[in-house]
């Protein structure tokens, strides 16, 4: 699969801006998502209290993450789940591939899991000789198109129905149509027998309850239920930050997540899975495995500002609200996690050197912070990351410029001189084309306000 790289965000964005179809699709999707979220939030008079409460619960968990993880594992294991720990992506993939191979698995069905996208699990499974079938409609579409997801909750949102129709005709032999119901029926029919034939079902996890060892997964389509009920083996992959303390805490998170993500009061299905079945005659998989993934998450605990990154419940609301994402879409970020949350967790998970542009790809408008159900202060995080990157990685010209700027701004005489210099420079030098390519530039005034005040 051709992934765009985070290191070329600027070029990626430029290409995205030239893609008229993409921009149309993004405009429709983000405004619809935004309107639905807004209405859903407005329908709950205690919305702000819920946000505060959810954030408080997350803060509590993160401050004692080791304890809550151990509690979760203890309870899950006592109910029959096998728990595996993965320090990084490679280890997670190795564990999952190992489990599948040991069981002679040929077909693996998957439900949407950003965590498994993060580790590139599908590539690893295919390299190990398995057929991987994405069953979430959006994931199925991008799998057919051989593309990465462009949105955390609606992976194919960058595609128009016409493009999807053409894709289905080409890859699945569907009679040409752009009727959404027909496309959906086609996908349903094609995927039905995969569920029945699958040896292993792999899912993500929305919430892992420490108190009971339960994993909670939410969906609309039903593919998660099929993935986690039919195959003999269920493997759930989760980031270590998915833990919440108590079963009762689900109330606030199940109120916030669907409304923030899609504007729904509740998604169609919530699955609460605790360990394995009691009697062998019961329905469900014979065995259950949970893979806990670190991959850089524990590092984020070291500072309160970065720790809040781990509060994210993957609703996607910040993407829809972000003026940058609205224009360039998810692929430009070159990461499984695009948009505002992606701009802050990608450098932290993948390493700053791989994603140094992302924290700067923001006007700091704060719309993301406004819509985040767990009140992550993303602009603050962006500034924190810029503070880590600029002094070390900023171009020498930029670092020098700011050193000079500080000199000028702390000396009234230099400041006065600089405005004179600025006036001359603006006349003789081509002003930053970066500005003037699209916008006229106001000339520096011949008399500054300081000058005018002196004349009073």
Partner 1 sequence: MSNSARESILGSIRTHLAASPAPDVEEHQAPLKIPVSKSDPIKQFKESVESVSGHCTITTDAADVLKQILTDLKAERIAHSDNPPNAHDIFGYDVGISTAQAAIAETGTLVLDSACERHRLVSLVPPVHIAIINASSIVETLSDALTLLQKKEISPAITFITGPSRTADIELTLAIGVHGPQELYVIVDGSK
Partner 2 sequence: MKVSLFVTCLVDQMWTSIGVSSVAVLRRVGCEVEFDKRQTCCAQPAFNTGYLDEARLVARRFISIFEESKADAIVSPSGSCTAMVHHYPQLFADDSKWLPRAHAIAAKTHELSSFLVRVLKKEDVGASWNGRLTWHDACHGLRDLNIKSEPRRLIRNVRGAEFVELDHADSCCGFGGTFSVKYPEISVAILDQKIDAIERADVQAVVSGDASCLMQIGGRLSRKGSKVRVMHLAELLNESSQQ
CA 247-248-254 angle, 5° bins: 90
Binds 196: which of partner 1, partner 2, none (CB < 5-8 Å by kind): partner 1
* Residue among 339, 314, 378 nearest 26 (CA): 339
* Residue among 397, 300, 392 nearest 346 (CA): 300
In the bound state with partner 1, the residue whose beta carbon lies nearer, of 247 and 360, is 247
| Shortest Cβ 11–partner 1 spacing (Å) | 27
Distance, CA of 276 to chain centre: 30
Binds 419: which of partner 2, partner 1, none (CB < 5-8 Å by kind): partner 2
In the bound state with partner 1, the residue whose beta carbon lies nearer, of 42 and 400, is 42
User: Judged by CB under 8 A, which of 22, 133, 183, 208 binds partner 1?
Assistant: 183
Binds 238: which of partner 2, partner 1, none (CB < 5-8 Å by kind): none
Q: Is residue 108 within the footprint of partner 1 (CB under 8 A)?
A: no
In the bound state with partner 1, the residue whose beta carbon lies nearer, of 121 and 361, is 121
Contacts of 455 (CB under 8 A, 6+ apart): none
Binds 14: which of partner 1, partner 2, none (CB < 5-8 Å by kind): partner 2
| Shortest Cβ 169–partner 2 spacing (Å) | 32
Binds 33: which of partner 2, partner 1, none (CB < 5-8 Å by kind): partner 1
How far, in Å, CA of 167 to CA of 365, rounded? 37
Contact set for partner 1, span 147-166 (CB under 8 A): 154-157, 159-161, 164
**Four-residue CA torsion sign, 441, 358, 317, 14:** positive
User: Judged by CB under 8 A, which of 28, 353, 426, 436 binds partner 1?
Assistant: 28
Give the CA-trace dihedral at 331, 334, 336, 341, to 10 degrees: -90
In the bound state with partner 1, the residue whose beta carbon lies nearer, of 218 and 361, is 218
Binding footprint of partner 1, residue count (CB under 8 A): 98
CA dist list (Å): 41 to 55, 262, 265 = 16, 11, 9
Give the CA-trace dihedral at 67, 288, 311, 27, to 10 degrees: 180
| Shortest Cβ 404–partner 1 spacing (Å) | 33
In the bound state with partner 1, the residue whose beta carbon lies nearer, of 54 and 371, is 54
User: Judged by CB under 8 A, which of 37, 53, 110, 259 binds partner 1?
Assistant: 53
In the bound state with partner 1, the residue whose beta carbon lies nearer, of 33 and 337, is 33
Q: Is residue 360 within the footprint of partner 1 (CB under 8 A)?
A: no
Long-range contacts of 164-171 (CB under 8 A, 24+ apart): 167/141, 168/144, 171/144
| Shortest Cβ 34–partner 2 spacing (Å) | 10
Binds 220: which of partner 2, partner 1, none (CB < 5-8 Å by kind): partner 1
Q: Is residue 382 within the footprint of partner 1 (CB under 8 A)?
A: no
How far, in Å, CA of 258 to CA of 385, rounded? 30
In the bound state with partner 2, the residue whose beta carbon lies nearer, of 28 and 179, is 28
State the DSSP string of 42-108: HT-TTHHHHHHHHHHHHHHHHHTHHHHHHHHHHHHHHTT-EEEEESSHHHHHHHHHHHHHHTT--EE
Contact set with partner 2 (CB under 8 A): 10, 13-14, 17, 323-324, 326-328, 360-367, 369-370, 383, 385-391, 394, 398-399, 402-403, 405-406, 408-410, 412, 415, 419, 422, 432, 434-435, 437-445, 447-450, 452-454
Alpha helices by DSSP H, listed for 146-222, are 161-172, 180-197
Greatest alpha-carbon pair distance for the chain in Å reads 94
Length of the chain: 456
In the bound state with partner 2, the residue whose beta carbon lies nearer, of 272 and 405, is 405
CA dist list (Å): 11 to 14, 92, 107, 189, 334 = 5, 32, 38, 39, 11
Site string for partner 1, 264-303 (x = CB under 8 A): -xxxxxxxxxxxxxx---xxx-------x-x---xxxxxx
User: Judged by CB under 8 A, which of 169, 177, 220, 390 binds partner 1?
Assistant: 220
DSSP 287: E
């Amino acid at each position: 699969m051709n992934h765009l790289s985070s290191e070329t965000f600027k070029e990626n964005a430029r290409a995205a801006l030239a893609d008229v179809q993409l921009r149309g699709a993004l405009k429709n999707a983000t405004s619809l998502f935004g309107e639905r979220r807004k209405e859903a939030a407005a329908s709950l008079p205690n919305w702000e209290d819920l946000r505060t409460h959810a954030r408080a619960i997350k803060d509590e968990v993160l401050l004692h993450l080791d304890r809550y993880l151990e509690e979760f594992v203890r309870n899950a294991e006592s109910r029959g789940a096998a728990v595996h720990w993965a320090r990084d992506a490679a280890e997670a993939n190795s564990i999952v591939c190992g489990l599948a191979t040991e069981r002679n698995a040929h077909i693996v069905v998957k439900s949407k899991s950003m965590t498994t996208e993060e580790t590139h699990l599908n590539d690893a499974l295919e390299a190990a000789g398995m057929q991987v079938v994405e069953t979430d409609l959006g994931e199925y579409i991008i799998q057919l198109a051989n593309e990465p997801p462009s949105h955390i909750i609606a992976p194919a949102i960058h595609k128009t129905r016409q493009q999807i129709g053409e894709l289905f005709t080409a890859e699945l032999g569907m009679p040409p149509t752009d009727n959404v119901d027909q496309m959906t029926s086609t996908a349903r029919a094609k995927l039905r027998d995969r569920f029945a034939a699958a040896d292993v079902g792999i899912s993500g996890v929305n919430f892992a309850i420490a108190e009971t060892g339960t994993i909670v997964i939410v969906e609309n389509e039903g593919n998660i239920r099929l993935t986690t009920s039919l195959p003999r083996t269920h493997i759930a992959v989760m980031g270590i930050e998915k833990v919440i303390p108590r079963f009762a805490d689900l109330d606030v998170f199940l109120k916030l997540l669907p409304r923030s993500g899609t504007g729904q009061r509740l998604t169609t299905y919530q699955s609460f899975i605790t360990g394995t079945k009691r009697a062998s005659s019961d329905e469900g998989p014979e065995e259950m495995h949970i893979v806990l993934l670190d991959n850089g998450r524990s590092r984020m605990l070291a500072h309160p500002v970065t720790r809040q990154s781990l509060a994210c419940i993957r609703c996607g609301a910040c993407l829809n609200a972000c003026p940058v994402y609205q224009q360039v879409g998810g692929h430009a970020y070159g990461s499984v996690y695009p948009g505002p949350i992606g701009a802050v967790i990608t450098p932290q998970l993948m390493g700053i050197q791989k994603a140094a542009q992302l924290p700067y790809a923001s006007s700091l408008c704060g719309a993301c912070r406004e819509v985040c159900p767990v009140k992550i202060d993303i602009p603050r995080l962006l500034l924190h990351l810029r503070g880590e990157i600029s002094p070390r990685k900023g171009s020498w010209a930029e670092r020098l410029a700011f050193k000079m700027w500080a000199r000028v701004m702390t000396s009234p005489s230099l400041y006065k001189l600089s405005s004179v210099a600025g006036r001359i420079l603006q006349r003789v030098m081509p002003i930053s084309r970066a500005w003037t390519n699209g916008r006229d530039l106001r000339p520096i005034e011949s008399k500054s306000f300081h000058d005018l005040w002196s004349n009073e």
